[in-house]
């Protein structure tokens, strides 16, 4: 298993920066420029800025997302839509020992920023076997895994996931789409994702990668102040 990379954060600066970022976001300022402004003011590192970017939300939005969060038991017999890259990358980074965080919306995120550089590996299969063991336990009625079509090797990953699903007798499909976020935002079922742009649209949402990382793999997330 790859070694965890160094992860050092200065809590005094994050405790001061997080409320200021929430203040700006609550008043409608753009997230990216707000994080840049706060980050420059407190001279934050890349990791500290990523923690703010992925883990800090206005209180009203955070509470609304928490209200729609469901436990794995909620997927029994229901249709489940899995944000394929989001879940895979978050769980893979947790398995590598890379930092994961729990945002103030209650969901687990990684801060690696490896989405565009993702490549399928042996760890991908190990990750999906953990996912499928959980789905075998709770048995959704139909599982749809959505992968971004434009990204390199998506078709290969889709074929692999479909094979693994069949091995575990999980009824479902793996689809390539140009509009994964749109489909997840409008899905009529339980969504498995930690992407805040999807979560804020409402509807039952399962923190699939986070549940496995914490409950099954016993990883300890960094809790965003």
- Two tokens, residue 53: 């970017």
What integer pLDDT is reported at residue 84 of this predicted model?
Answer: 97
Q: What are the residues whose beta carbons fall under 8 Å from the beta carbon of 83, sequence distance 6 or more?
A: 146, 180, 184, 191, 192, 193, 195, 198
pLDDT 10s digit of each residue in the chain, 225 long? 344 456 678 999 999 999 999 999 999 999 999 999 999 999 999 999 999 999 999 999 999 999 999 999 999 999 999 999 999 999 999 999 999 999 999 999 998 876 667 889 999 999 999 999 999 999 999 999 999 998 879 999 999 999 999 999 999 999 999 999 999 999 999 999 999 999 999 999 999 999 999 999 999 999 998
140: its two tokens: 């959704």
Q: Which one, of 30, 56, 19, 36, lies nearest residue 223 by Cα?
A: 56
For residue 108, which phi and psi values (nearest 5 degrees)? -90, 135
Instruction: Write down the pLDDT at residue 170.
Output: 97
Q: What is the pLDDT of residue 1?
A: 39
Q: Please state the domain extents for the chain.
A: 11-56, 66-223
| Phi/psi at 101 (5° precision) | -130, 155
Q: 66-223 architecture in CATH?
A: 3-Layer(aba) Sandwich (3.40)
């Amino acid at each position: 298993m790859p070694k965890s990379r160094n992860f050092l954060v200065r809590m005094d600066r994050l405790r001061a920066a997080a409320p200021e970022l929430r203040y700006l976001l609550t008043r409608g300022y753009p997230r990216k420029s707000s994080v840049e402004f706060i980050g420059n003011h407190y001279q934050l590192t890349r990791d500290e800025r990523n923690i703010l970017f992925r883990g800090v939300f206005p209180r009203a939005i955070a509470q609304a997302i928490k209200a729609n969060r469901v436990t794995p038991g909620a997927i029994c017999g229901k249709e489940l839509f899995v944000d394929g890259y989001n879940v895979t990358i978050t769980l893979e980074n947790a398995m590598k020992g890379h930092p994961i965080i729990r945002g103030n919306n209650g969901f687990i995120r990684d801060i690696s920023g490896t989405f565009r550089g993702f490549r399928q590996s042996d760890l991908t299969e190990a990750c999906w076997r953990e996912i499928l063991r959980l789905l075998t336990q709770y048995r959704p009625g139909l599982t749809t895994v959505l992968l971004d079509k434009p990204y390199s090797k998506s078709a290969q990953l889709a074929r692999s996931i479909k094979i693994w699903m069949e091995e575990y007798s999980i009824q479902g499909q793996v689809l390539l789409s140009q509009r994964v976020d749109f489909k997840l935002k409008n899905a009529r079922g339980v969504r498995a994702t930690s992407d805040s742009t999807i979560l804020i649209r409402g509807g039952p949402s399962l923190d699939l990668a986070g549940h496995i990382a914490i409950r099954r793999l016993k990883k300890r997330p960094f809790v965003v102040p």
